[in-house]
Amino acid sequence: MRSILVVFSLVVSFTFLSCKGQSSSEINNISTDEMQSLLKMDDVQLVDVRTPKEFKTGFIANAQNIDFLSSTFDEDVKKLDKEKPVILYCHSGRRSANGAEKLLKAGFVKIYNLKGGIVQWQLEGLEINKE
C-alpha cells in the first residue's frame, strides 16, 4: 500500500510540474533567422526599444519605437496586446533583454528578444528602413 502511495505522489508531482512549465511565460532569445520566421505571423508585435534618435538612423520594417530609457516605458508597453507575441530589439541586445524582463513581469505571454540587436541584423545583410 505504501509503495502505491509513493508512486501516486510521484505521478501527481510530475504532472503538476509539467503543466506548470508549459503554461508559464518566458523570454526566448532568438536569432535573426528565427525572427524572420516570426515576423511572417500576422499578430506579432515588433518593438524597437532604442531612443527615438537611434530609431531614426534605421529600423526593422514594421517596428514601433518604445524607448526603454524613457520614463514612460512601463506605461507605453501597456498599449501592446499581452496575448500576442512581442519581439523586442535594440542596438546590441542588452536594453531589449531588460525590456523583455519588464514585459514578463507585466504578464506578457510570448516574449522574444533578438540576440545581437539591430547590429546583428545588419551584419547579416538584412534590410533596415530609415525615416
Is residue 2 very low, low, confident or very high in pLDDT (cuts 50, 70, 90)? low
Q: What is the pLDDT at residue 113?
A: 98
Q: Tens digits of per-residue pLDDT, 104-120?
A: 999 999 999 999 999 99
- Would you say residue 5 lies in a domain? no
- Would you say residue 13 lies in a domain? no
CATH number at residue 63: 3.40.250.10
- Who has greater pLDDT, 54 or 19? 54
Q: What is the pLDDT at residue 1?
A: 54
- Would you say residue 35 lies in a domain? yes
Q: Residues 43, 85: contact at Cβ < 8 Å?
A: yes
Q: Tens digits of per-residue pLDDT, 34-51?
A: 999 999 988 999 999 999
DSSP 93-124: SHHHHHHHHHHHHTT-SEEEEETTHHHHHHHT
pTM of the full predicted structure? Answer: 0.81
